[in-house]
Copies of this chain bind each other. A is one copy, B any other.
Amino acid sequence: MRLSRYFLPVLKETPADAQIVSHRYMLRAGMIKQASAGIYSWLPLGYKVLKKIENIVHEEQQKAGHIPMLMPTLQSADLWRESGRYDDYGQEMLRITDRHDRDMLYGPTNEELITDIFRSYVRSYKDLPLTLYHIQWKFRDEIRPRFGVMRGREFLMKDGYNFDLTKEEALHAYNRHLVSYLRSYERMGLQAIPMRADGGPIGGDYTHEFLVLAETGESEVFYDSEITDLTFGDRAVDFDNVAECQAVLEEFTSRYARTDETHDEALFNEIPEERRRTARGIEVGQIFYFGTKYSEAMGANVQTADGQQVPVHMGSHGIGVSRLLGAIIEASHDDKGIIWPEGVTPFHVGIVNLRQGDAETDAACQAIYDSLTALGLEPLYDDRDERAGGKFATMDLIGLPWRITVGPRGLKNGVVELTSRRTGESEEMPAEDAVKRIVAIYENV
């Protein structure tokens, strides 16, 4: 993309009402614009990152054998009356009346709707196991929306639902989700720690929240420092293998890691003192096993091999897709702006032309742009007639992890400059080598 043809409305001033760094940078980098309280338009740059995150979630869910679909945003109140949650949910549920005076609502979650779909079609144990998921906009009418997309009212969430014949099989689905979530977050450049959590309004005894450590986190967390040494890495995993998924669960949840909701001071104090950590965390996902809570209330039964009717065992599993942008920025920035991990960066590399209009420099930039594009990468080429300082400031603010700087002086020596946003280190090299380096960097992302 050539910047002269893009819509990237960066702001020089820090917006007054943005209290946390991710909110400030998303506004300044022209990623979002508030449409009304807690509701945002995703400007082109923000939309690109949102899509990258969505794609990672889709890919990892499908690798785990989970099936994508899409439920609508508006739901009938009737289903929620069946489950008993219509009254339980307070004012955070946006209630709507349509022209025929029917009670509707903007879905804050989808247990009822998916259970209704299941019971409409599935009759036999032979159709299990089944896990369906979708990525759809939700609404939660927060009394005081704040922190930008971190606590918005209209937000994008992935929510998945497993249906299994037995508790054991449902717990395998739970483990599959844990594994796929670990992989997803790591691809986004995040360390998200599964912590024992509280069921809340969804219900369920088995539940883990995934938290990203960050000063601005809404939860206080307590953990054994050994847990931050764990990484999933690129190990292969067979999602059909019960023992293998169970082993990952045990590896990642056997050490103490809890939010303030479930914190147990006595247990915490059993950890050697030098490993005890207290910090703040941002919740970016949660997995639940809640058994037959919804299937019993809504009559979602299947026939077993010996002809009995039994309620299906369920769980639900969510990733906060839109809030992840905020979480990633909270975890990865400096005082100049955002530093995108390679897995979610909106453009793979920035190209800065130090002398726009100079025929040789323009041609060199264009050649680099064309090579990268032909290799399937997306560069953002700052081809505006601006001063170098302004171009660098924009690139730093929007946080592309790599920058190629092209100027007449370097070209005279046959070199361009390749700069890492994270370290700030620059290296001079021929343009073709810079292109090769960028290709190599993204080969394994």
Binds B, one of A137-145, A222-230, A389-397: A137-145
- In the complex, whether A17 has a CB less than 8 A from a CB of chain B is no
Enumerate chain B residues within 8 angstroms of A48, measured Cβ to Cβ: 68
Q: Is the CB of B35 within 8 A of A47?
A: no
From B36, B70, B99, A143 is in contact (CB under 8 Å) with B99
A 82-128 contacts with B by CB, 8 A:
91-92, 94, 96, 98-100, 102, 104, 106, 113, 116-117, 120-122
Q: Is the CB of B36 within 8 A of A102?
A: yes
- In the complex, whether A33 has a CB less than 8 A from a CB of chain B is yes
Among A6, A7, A9, A73, residue most surrounded by chain B Cβ atoms (within 10 Å): A7
* Distance between A321 CB and nearest chain B CB, rounded to angstroms: 12
* Distance between A33 CB and nearest chain B CB, rounded to angstroms: 6
From B35, B92, B122, B141, A113 is in contact (CB under 8 Å) with B35
Q: Is the CB of B41 within 8 A of A72?
A: yes
Q: Which residue on chain B has the smallest CB distance to residue A62?
A: B1
Enumerate chain B residues within 8 angstroms of A121, measured Cβ to Cβ: 7, 9, 30
A 137-191 contacts with B by CB, 8 A:
137, 139, 141, 143, 153-154
Enumerate chain B residues within 8 angstroms of A7, measured Cβ to Cβ: 67, 69, 121, 130, 132
- In the complex, whether A42 has a CB less than 8 A from a CB of chain B is yes
- In the complex, whether A74 has a CB less than 8 A from a CB of chain B is yes
Q: Is the CB of B154 within 8 A of A73?
A: yes
* Distance between A137 CB and nearest chain B CB, rounded to angstroms: 6
A92 CA to B99 CA in the complex, in Å? Answer: 8
From B39, B70, B113, A72 is in contact (CB under 8 Å) with B39
Q: Is the CB of A36 within 8 A of B104?
A: yes
Q: Is the CB of B9 within 8 A of A74?
A: no
Task: Please tell me how many copies of the chain the complex holds.
Answer: 2
A370 CA to B152 CA in the complex, in Å? Answer: 44
A113 CA to B94 CA in the complex, in Å? Answer: 21
| A binding-site residues for B, Cβ under 8 Å | 5-7, 9, 30, 33, 35-37, 39-44, 46-48, 50, 65, 67-76, 91-92, 94, 96, 98-100, 102, 104, 106, 113, 116-117, 120-122, 130, 132, 134, 137, 139, 141, 143, 153-154
28 contacts between A and B (CB under 8 A): A6-B67, A7-B67, A9-B120, A30-B121, A33-B117, A35-B76, A35-B116, A36-B75, A36-B76, A36-B104, A37-B102, A41-B69, A41-B117, A42-B70, A42-B71, A43-B69, A44-B67, A44-B68, A44-B69, A47-B69, A48-B68, A72-B154, A73-B137, A74-B106, A74-B139, A74-B153, A92-B99, A96-B96
Given contacts A7-B69, A9-B122, A47-B70, 13 further A-B pairs with CB under 8 A are: A9-B120, A35-B116, A36-B75, A36-B104, A39-B72, A39-B75, A41-B70, A42-B71, A44-B68, A74-B106, A74-B153, A91-B99, A96-B106
